[in-house]
Structure 1
Amino acid sequence: MPELELSAGVIDYVDTGGDGEPVVLVHGLGFDESVWAAVTEALREDYRVLVPVLPLGSHRRPMRPDADLSAHGIARLLGEFLERLDLRGATLVQNDAGTSQLLAAEGDERIGRLVLTSCEALSNYPPGVQGKSLYWASRVPGGLFLVLQSFRVPALWRMQTALGGMAKHPLPPELVRRWYGPLLRDAANRRDFYKFCRNVDRNTYVEAAERLRSFDRPALVAWGAEDRMMPPATGRRLAELLPQGRYVEIPDARTLVPLDNPTALVAELRQFIEENPAPKP
C-alpha cells in the first residue's frame, strides 16, 4: 500500500489509480480499508478509488504522541489527505463514524459530492448500545481497555449488543482479528483510539448538522434499512436538512452497509454520480 505523511503521522491508503473521477471511501471507528474491499473492486474500473486508513484503532502505524485525534482532528486529517493528493471534485463516502460530516460542514471545496451511509448524526451520539458502552467506558479509568478485551472472545463480540449487531450477516472472524489485532497488541494504537473516544462531545454532530444546512453540493444519504444502531429515522432527518440531499435505504443491511450489501450500495453510488455530474473546471 502507498503511504502518505500527514501532520499527525504516516498513514497507509488504497489508491486504484487511473484517470477516473476520485471516489474517497472513509471507514469508521475500529475498522480499516477492508470494510470497503467489495465496493472498491466494483468501482475501480470507472473511478479512481481511494481509501485512507485513518487512525481510528485498526491502523497499523501509530500517530505522533501529540497528534489531535479528536473527531475534528480526524476530519482535518481527511481534508489534509484530499489536499496532499490534489483530489478535486471528490465524491466523499462515509460509513460508521461521522467524521466526513465535520469536513463537509466546514465547506471543504475539494468535496464535489457527499455520501453518508449509516453513521453518527444529529443527536444519535453515542449511538446504540455499542456506542454508549464505548462512551461511558472512555470516562472510567481502564474502562476502554476492558471493553477491548471482549474482542478476544468470539462469543462476546458476536453478541447483538456488540460488534455482531452492526452487521446483518455474520462477520468473518479473520476480519475481526484484522480490525482489533492492532488495538490488542499495540499500546500506541490504543492511545490513538482512546484519544478519539474521549474527545467526541455529545453536541459534535448536532452542531455539524446545523452547518450542513449550507452544504451546497449534491448529497446522498444511503442508510442500512435494518440498522438498529443508527436508526433510519436519523438518516431521513439528515437528508432533509441537506439542501441537495436525497435519502435511500439499502436493503438487507445494518450499520456496516458496504459489508452487508455492497452490490446495492454500488448501484446507488453509480446512479448518484451519473445524475450529478461534476462541474467542468
Structure 2
Amino acid sequence: MTNAHTYLTALRWGEDQLQVTSADSVAAQYLLLESHQWSFTQLVQHYRELMPSVEWETYQKQIARIAAGEPAQYVLGQAPFYGRDFRVTSATLIPRQETEELVAWILDDVVASDLHVLDVGTGSGAIAVTLKAERPEWTVTATDISAAAVAVARENATTQHADIQFEVGDLLAPVAGQRFDVIVSNPPYIDRSETAVMDDSVKRFEPDQALFAADHGLAFYQRFAATLAQYLTPNGQFFAEIGYRQGAAVRAIFETALPAATVTIRQDINGQDRMVRVQL
C-alpha cells in the first residue's frame, strides 16, 4: 500500500513543517538519508518513487518530534561518527565533529601497537569503539558513571565487532591500580553560566551530567591533572576535548599539576582551541 507522496514531495513537506519552527529544515533531508543509508545522489534517484504508507506515517511522526525541538539523531536513534553509525539515546551525548578531530589526532599521533587505551566518560562509546576498530591491536577499556550510557556503548561495540572492556564508575575509579599508554576523554566542560547561549535542544534533550562541570567547566580537567600520573605509563599521553574558550586555563591546570609534562593545545577546523594533549 502506498500514499500520494513521492520522496520528493515528502521531503518538501518536511522542510515546510520545520521552516515554521526553530528547527533546522535540513533535518527533513537528514531523516531520509540516514534511515535509508542513502547518499544525496541516491535520494535524488528515488525522488519520483512513491513513499510506502508505513514509511510516510513514520516520517510524519519524526518530523513532528523534530519540530518540537528533539534532535534528529535521537529521533532516529543513531548518529554517524568517523564513518560508522552509532546508537544514541537520551542517556548519551550525540557524537560531534570536534570529537572526530580528537580521535583523528590520536590515530595520527600514536603509532605504536600493543597499547593499552582508556576512554573515560565513554557515553555512546564512539571514541572507544572507533579507536578499537581503527587499531584492532590496541587493548581498549571504557568507563562511564552512567550505567545506561555503558549499556548503549556495549551495544555499539557489539554492532561494530569491537572487543572492549567496559566499566561503570566515576572517572578513573573503575580502573584503580591499572596503567594505560593513552587515556582519552570528552568530559563535561560547560559552565552553567553558558546555559543562556546554548542550543535549546541540547539543554532539553542531552544528558546534563555529560554537559556541565563545576569551576567554570574546568572541574574534570582539575581532577584528571591530580591523578593522571598514577594511571599513565611513564611516557603515557592524555588527550581530551575542551571548550573553545578554555585553552589557556586547561594548559595552566596541567602545567601546574604536572610541571615535567608537555602540554599541547590544538585548534579544531574552525580555528578554535578544542583539544589538549598531555604527555608525561
Which of the five TM-score ranges fits, normalised by the shorter chain? 0.3 to 0.5
Report the structure number with the largest CA radius of gyration: 2
Q: Quick check: which one's strand share is greater?
A: 2
Bigger RCO (CA 8 Å, 6+ sep): 1
Q: Normalising by structure 1, what TM-score?
A: 0.33
